[in-house]
Amino acid sequence: MQERIVITGMGTVNPLGLSVEESWKNVINGVSGVAPITLFDSSILQVHIAAEVKNFNPDHFMDPKEARRRDRFEQLTVAAAKQAMAQSGLVVTEKNAGRIGVLISSAIGGLKSLQEAILTNDREGPRRVSPFFIPMLMPNGGAGMTAIELGIKGPCFSVASACASGADGIGTALMMLRAGMIDAALTGAGESTITMTGVAAFDRVGAMSRRNDSYQTTPQPFDKNRDGLVMGEGAGVIVLERESDAKARGATIYAELAGYGATADAYHVTAPHEFGEGGASAIRMALASAQANTEDIGYINAHGTGTFMNDQSETRAVKAALGKLAYQTPISSTKSMTGHMMGATGALEAIFCALAIRDGILPPTINYQTPDPECDLDYIPNKAREKKIDLAISNAFGFGGHNAVLAVRRYKG
């Protein structure tokens, strides 16, 4: 029997807070992180709203000089990673540094730095491009920066699978721990794409809500009147260890990371499969990895972006995977509050699953008003629900047809 892999630390900075507990309090209270964009002048765009990380000062988490040399997504990542390590109580030493992995992902990397470098090159010439541009751009920058800051010398890399990146990184860490390649992992994702280019590009794909004058009502996952996602930013990071190692050092164990499933739709570069076949297969794979059954699922944290096709496809995926039990299983989209943090969302939502198990509270889907006949499951509308659960799954689906599902279980030592 394979040894259990457990969560001993969690950290996050996101549109709802600068810590795990602040974020969780706001999620279960149905607080929206959506507001007018302040990170840049969006007046020439058709979208003027986003879910930004508020009151974030990178100098609180790293040397100010080093912070200036890093893209915002890297700053957010390091902040979440240091929180997770502090909560875990795991101390990096010369003896264990090579046995700890840093698997922290990003779907896009330093988009703000890329945009600024191109503009600088065009306006002022190549000699004015920052020598720190490449480290600020690369998607593995968050992982590399974290390893440097903490002195971790084990495997260090980033998984890039669009909006499934964070979940895929966590799932990869789970497999590496089970294989004995590492003894602990710092894993999750960071993302910051709220830039002129990022918002314009996602809007051109037709994915964004333009409800600028009534931003308090959007996004609306699974609602009949949903009109697109709201871009978010942030980071979520967890510490994973084998149960025996965590117990040996007296660590607090928050939950077990029990399973992981990943598939590809092989269907379309942006649209999900109409009937959610890939998503359903990933759910089944995660349950098999967790040695669990569909009736064990007490809660599903949905990908739930608020786009027409995603929500319909995901509903069908859940039905295909769970059958009649789909109608009895609570499901909600916390993106209705955090916005879509791209590659980082899956990592944050895994944290929310662990907290839902810990506290017996299921987060709501806010802004839900009008049922959609094609989305007819229990989406926990507008108000959190008290319910003790032992197993939650988190869905993360991304452009390119990437599907990743994590299963989080109550730890019963």
Amino acid present at 308: F
From the list 340, 353, 375, 402, the catalytic residue is 340
Burial 382-401 (b: 16+ CB within 10 A, else e): eebbeeebebbbbbbbbbbb
353 is a catalytic site residue? no
Taking the C-alpha atoms of residue 318 and residue 361, their distance in angstroms, rounded to an integer, is 21
**8 Å CB contact between 242 and 7:** no
303 is a catalytic site residue? yes
**8 Å CB contact between 113 and 71:** yes
From the list 163, 353, 375, 402, the catalytic residue is 163
46-49-55-58 Cα dihedral, nearest 10 degrees: -50
Taking the C-alpha atoms of residue 140 and residue 387, their distance in angstroms, rounded to an integer, is 38
From the list 303, 353, 375, 402, the catalytic residue is 303
340 is a catalytic site residue? yes
Q: Which residues lie closer than 8 Å to 67 by C-beta, 6 or more apart?
A: 58, 59, 61, 75
Taking the C-alpha atoms of residue 369 and residue 385, their distance in angstroms, rounded to an integer, is 17
Catalytic (active-site) positions: 163, 303, 340
